[in-house]
Amino acid sequence: MALFELQNLTKTYGTEGIGTEVLHGITFSIERGEFVSIMGPSGSGKSTLLHILGFLDDYTSGEYRFGGKRPNDYTEDEQAQIRNNEMGFVFQAFNLLPKQSVYDNIQLPLSYSGVPEKFWKEKIERAIEQVGLTHRAEYETYKLSGGERQRVAIARALVNDPNVIFADEPTGNLDSVSGGAVMEVFQELHQNLKHTIVLITHERFTAEYAKRIIRIKDGLIEQDEVLAGDRIRRPSEFHK
């Protein structure tokens, strides 16, 4: 069973009839362990789609199943639990607490998760290691570079061992070299740790770190393409 299954999904903002339909019938599946980019120009409906996938917003018609179940099969509390325990979110703006340490920022989702406290330290340290920030664990996050902050946000998304990591324009606030380093972290999580990653971007360069690109335009899928070969990009490519 696919982790995500969408069938002819639509989204209308406002009241149906007098509202604006922004997704016009989206159909795709994403399997566990895939690394997929959803790419399209600004206003094409990417964030709307991500919010629906992440149980942050309702859809209007069609079908959406996450792990075989519809969002409406769950109560709001259960949806919140799934968001916290099975989904990790990384946003363009990092959304960290600036005066708190790297360690404390990453601890935050654990405190809502029901994971017994005795396991926290090990989980936090592992997440910090996975993004290569062990030497910065005690730094307050306002002292870090943009690329380092985004890696903290990735560690925070990872700490509950989610089934999927959603990243919404994660390199949007970064220069190309730090952006490349952040994308390499996603690539490693996918290749070595078999994480499922759904990335939203308007940039082709960023999208191509994934193994599959779903292009959307004006609320419709334009192309769904599996990339050939094992492309591994390194920051050195940015300097060419």
Q: What residue ranges bind ligand ADP (CB under 6 A)?
A: 13, 22, 40, 42-48
Tally Cβ neighbours within 10 Å of residue 200: 25
Closer to ligand ADP by Cβ: residue 92 or 100: 92
Give the residue with the Cβ less far from ligand ADP, 5 or 169. Answer: 169
Shortest CB 122 distance to ligand ADP, Å:
36
- Minimum Å gap between C-beta 84 and ligand ADP is 23
H or E element at residue 23: strand 20-30
Q: Which residue number, 45 or 170, has a Cβ lying nearer to ligand ADP?
A: 45
212-217 and 196-201 beta bridge pairing: unpaired
Closest approach of ligand ADP to the CB of residue 200, in Å: 7
DSSP for 71-88 reads GGGS-HHHHHHHHHHHEE
What is the dihedral angle through the alpha carbons of 154, 155, 160, 166, rounded to the nearest 10 degrees?
A: 10
C-beta of 44 vs 105, nearer to ligand ADP = 44
Work out how close the CB of 47 gets to ligand ADP at its nearest, in angstroms, rounded to a whole number: 3
What's the rounded Cα separation, in Å, for the pair 157 and 167?
9
Smaller CB distance to ligand ADP: residue 155 or 216?
216
Q: How many CB atoms lie within 10 A of CB 133?
A: 21
Q: List 12's β-bridge partners, or say none.
A: 21
Nearest distance in Å: CB 138, ligand ADP = 36
